[in-house]
Amino acid sequence: MTPTFETDTPAGEKPVGPASTESANQGWRRVLGVPSLVLLGLVYMVPLTIFSTYGIVVELTGGRLSAAYAVTLVVMLFTARSYGRMSQAFPFGGSAYTYATRSFGPGLGFMAGWSLLLDYLLLPMINYLLIGIYMEAAFPAIPAWVFMIVSIVAVTVLNILGITAIAKANFVVVGLQALFIVLFVALGLSSITGTGSVDLLAPFTGAEGAEGLSPVFAGSAILCLSYLGFDAVSTFAEETKDPKRNLPRAIMITTVLAGMIFLGLAYISHLVLPVSTFKDVDSAAIEVIGAAGGELLVAFFTAAYIAGSLGSALTSQASVSRIIHSMGRSGVFPAALGRLHERFRTPVLPILLTSAVSLLAFVLDLLTISSLISFGALVAFSVVNLAVIKHYYFDQKARGARGVIHNLVLPGIGFVLTIWLWTSLNGLSIGFGLAWAAVGLVWLAYLTRGFRRPAPQLDLKEA
């Protein structure tokens, strides 16, 4: 593909974005098919991710984690469908940034991309934090920050080497987690049947005295971060073979598979240990897994979980580097961020920038990071649902009975549901998210000289 840049620069002024970039003119390697994309999405989500915020959401919902996951899955299916539709229309990297730019113009596109950056910059961070928490629990003599530093360095090097190395590593990561899931389910069911009477509705009804749906919705809002894998799949459009066909399929397969895994593990976990409070809310998973299979299963979980967190960090850093690269070559960010390394054909500077931001994991806590990621995710999801309506229903005029359902009703439902979850987040998340949006608006005002000039826009053309 050959990108060209529209800057609409008045005579005598320096353009906001580069007129051309040598490295940008050399396209990505199209090496990914549906299986690899699904693996990237699942690894990004981490099949064991329910244990990342297990204690936090169980306590928040009064033991109704399964109900919260069910609500989130319904919302995500509508939104994943919208991502698939937009990836067919615009099979390019940049995810919600690209879709919003093409549907609503570069100004709103920038704000969508800025919102998405909040998620992607924080997602590697949450993985490093979890690696530190669980490794320190396994090896108390070594402080968590040591494990975090080693992980950041390893992930950075692998990302610089390229997407093929990441895709190969993902097979090992998913294999380990799949093996753990089989063992956990088998041992968990065995422990449940050995206890006598079991309340099969407990994972949905929660602890005695748990009333009202507001806590469930609040938990569902936090759990949105678990589904960012389908958004991550869309960022690899320029490295996908036949993206108009393969991307939508991979996005929906990833969402359904992940949703079933999350819901199943949450359900069995509550039956194994039907409590709504824990000794340590951040590492509550250890209590659940210990109840299912003892210390040996806990040790295996730690190994599988660390591998999964490393895999997720690999994929999430790859995704955010591609978004930064896409915005860099459009002139939204400095041109240097829009170049690929001559040898590795990877965006080295965006990768290093993401690693630097990840060092904030030393000062932020798990609940704060999780809530902030969900804020950005829900904003981006809302924009993509609206983009389907704008592009297909209004711009393409794909109406009629079928068009109304597919291009207006279904994405409209997705939009309403994401806004509904967005309002269920806590005040801190909304406040910080709005502050992040305000910074983005100021930067956009700078780029456009007080909104007197069009925002820089990347014009991508297929080869």
Would you state the pLDDT for residue 165?
57
| DSSP letter, residue 199 | -
What's the CA dihedral at 274, 277, 280, 281 to 10 degrees? 90
Amino acid symbol at 327: M
The length of the chain, given as a count of residues: 463
Cβ–Cβ under 8 Å, residues 247 and 43: no
Q: What angle do CA 199, 76, 44 make, to 5 degrees?
A: 95
Would you state the pLDDT for residue 14?
39
C-alpha distances in Å from residue 10, one per residue of 53, 305, 448, 458: 51, 54, 12, 18
Cβ–Cβ under 8 Å, residues 313 and 128: yes
Would you state the pLDDT for residue 24?
41
Residues of the chain with pLDDT under 70: 1-28, 94, 162-170, 194-196, 207-210, 457-463
Amino acid symbol at 28: W
Which stretch of DSSP H or E encloses residue 84? helix 65-89
SS3 content of the chain, % helix, strand, coil (to 5): 75, 0, 25
Cβ–Cβ under 8 Å, residues 91 and 30: no
- End-to-end CA, the chain: 4
Cβ–Cβ under 8 Å, residues 350 and 337: yes
Specify which residues 6 forms β-bridges with: 457
Residue in 417, 388, 386, 371 with CA at minimum distance from that of residue 72: 417
Phi, psi values for residue 458, rounded to 5°: -90, 120
Looking up tokens 């109406």 gives 399
Looking up tokens 């109304």 gives 404
Q: What's the rounded Cα separation, in Å, for the pair 154 and 189?
A: 37
Centroid of chain to Cα 271 = 28
Query: Over the stretch 224-243, which tens digit does the pLDDT of each residue have?
Result: 878 877 877 887 888 888 88
Centroid of chain to Cα 66 = 20
Centroid of chain to Cα 247 = 16
Residue in 93, 57, 82 with CA at minimum distance from that of residue 226: 57
Q: What's the rounded Cα separation, in Å, for the pair 450 and 440?
A: 13
Would you state the pLDDT for residue 309?
83
| DSSP letter, residue 71 | H
Q: Return the number of other C-beta atoms located less than 10 Å from residue 163's C-beta.
A: 22
Amino acid symbol at 80: A
Query: Over the stretch 397-417, which tens digit does the pLDDT of each residue have?
Result: 988 888 999 999 999 999 999
| Whether the predicted model's global pTM rises above the 0.75 cut | yes
Would you state the pLDDT for residue 164?
60
